[in-house]
Amino acid sequence: MSFVDGTIILKSKDEIEKLRKSNIIVAEILEKIESIVRPGITTIDMEKICESELKRRKAKSAFKNYRGYPYNLCVSVNDEVVHGMPSKRILKDGDIVSLDFGALYDGFYGDAAVTVPVGNISNKATKLIETTRTALERAIDVTRTGNRLQDISAAVQSTAEDVGFSVVRAFVGHGIGRNLHESPQVPNFGMPGKGLRLKVGMVLAIEPMVNAGGSDVRIMDDGWTAVTKDGSLSAHFEHSVAITSNGPYVLSRL
Ligand code: MF3
Ligand code: CO
């Protein structure tokens, strides 16, 4: 049973276990896609695997037809920030590729993202990926009762800015449950100690998007793909995290 706290839908233990199932599906499929990333593969190859893996598990796509988005997977290469669309584009050595994937199973959504290297990448690209991964881990560490929402935001922001990178402000993380996007929004910038109090039963999709250059983004003519305005590289990691009495429970971690 769910109950509403303000506009935020808190989840019971049973509901969190259902969210866990959906998120395990997401994590397993992401792991599979990650394992095939190499120079020469096309991004539509990955989309096809997502589609068949969802079918095999009797799960539905979280993204396909969401606000008209036409694919199961978001795949964003190099300066693409988020919502890149699968295509005949061939990945090449030195690219970085962000894979964002979601599933609906037994009434609940799962959502996660990773950025992975294609072959050998530059030191700067490696640092960007590692910084964004660390930003997510530090954010997860503070996703617990006693803290406030912007402690999560500030953890992401400081991790990125301390090494001279910037956080994207145009997109945010979100609550997740029977809907892909629920309250509250989870920005990647903010002030420690500000925002709503974190409570047991909140489930948040925390998703740092970090640019090697400036924070500004623009949407391409396809109406979906967000790219950095200055052409700099961008990385994206996401986990769906439940707040329990024992601290953060990373639902999308295998
Ligand atoms: N994980 C992203 C999000 O939470 C992707 C969803 S957008 C979609 O916003 F349209 F592709 F579904
Ligand atoms: Co998300």
Per-residue model confidence as pLDDT tens digits over 196-241: 999 999 999 999 999 999 999 999 999 999 999 999 999 999 999 9
Ligand 1 atom with minimal separation from the 205 CA: 4
Domain membership flag for residue 205 = yes
Domain membership flag for residue 2 = no
Query: What range does the domain containing 238 cover?
Result: 13-250
Domain membership flag for residue 94 = yes
Domain membership flag for residue 217 = yes
Neighbouring C-beta atoms of residue 4, cutoff 10 Å: 9
Question: Which of 61, 63, 76 best tests ligand 1's pocket when mutated (most atoms within 8 Å of CB)?
Answer: 63
15 forms beta bridges with: none
Task: Decide: 59 and 22 in contact? Cβ < 8 Å.
Answer: yes
Ligand 1 atom with minimal separation from the 113 CA: 1
User: Residue 61, CB half-sphere, CA atoms under 13 Å: how many?
Assistant: 21
For the cut 80, the answer to whether the pLDDT of residue 6 exceeds it is: no
At 171-204, the pLDDT tens digits run 999 999 999 999 999 999 999 999 999 999 999 9
Neighbouring C-beta atoms of residue 70, cutoff 10 Å: 12
Based on the structure, what is the number of domains in the chain?
1
Distance from Cα 190 to the centre of ligand 1, integer Å: 22
Ligand nearest to the CA of 204: 2
pTM passes above 0.95: yes
* Residue closest by Cα to atom 6 of ligand 1: 63
Ligand 1 atom with minimal separation from the 101 CA: 1
Domain membership flag for residue 6 = no
φ, ψ of residue 103 to 5 degrees: the values are: -135, 155
Q: What percent of the chain has pLDDT over 90?
A: 97
What is the model's pLDDT at position 220? 98
At 84-141, the pLDDT tens digits run 999 999 999 999 999 999 999 999 999 999 999 999 999 999 999 999 999 999 999 9
- Tokens found for residue 6: 């303000």
Closest CA to 80 of 100, 62, 105, 52: 100
Ligand nearest to the CA of 62: 1
For the cut 50, the answer to whether the pLDDT of residue 1 exceeds it is: no
The rounded Cα 48 to chain-centroid distance in angstroms is 20
What is the model's pLDDT at position 240? 99
* Residue closest by Cα to atom 2 of ligand 1: 100
Q: What is the mean pLDDT of residues 20-27?
A: 98
Residues enclosing ligand 1, CB less than 6 A?
63, 66-67, 69, 74, 83, 100, 102, 111, 174, 205
For the cut 80, the answer to whether the pLDDT of residue 2 exceeds it is: no
Domain membership flag for residue 8 = no
Spatial separation of the C-alpha atoms in residues 95 and 73, rounded to whole Å: 18
Domain membership flag for residue 5 = no
* Residue closest by Cα to atom 11 of ligand 1: 63
Domain membership flag for residue 46 = yes
- Cβ-proximal residues to 215 (8 Å cutoff; 6+ apart), any chain: 166, 167, 168, 169
- Please confirm whether the linkage preceding 184 is cis (ω < 30° from 0): yes
CATH of the domain at 200: 3.90.230.10
What is the model's pLDDT at position 4? 60
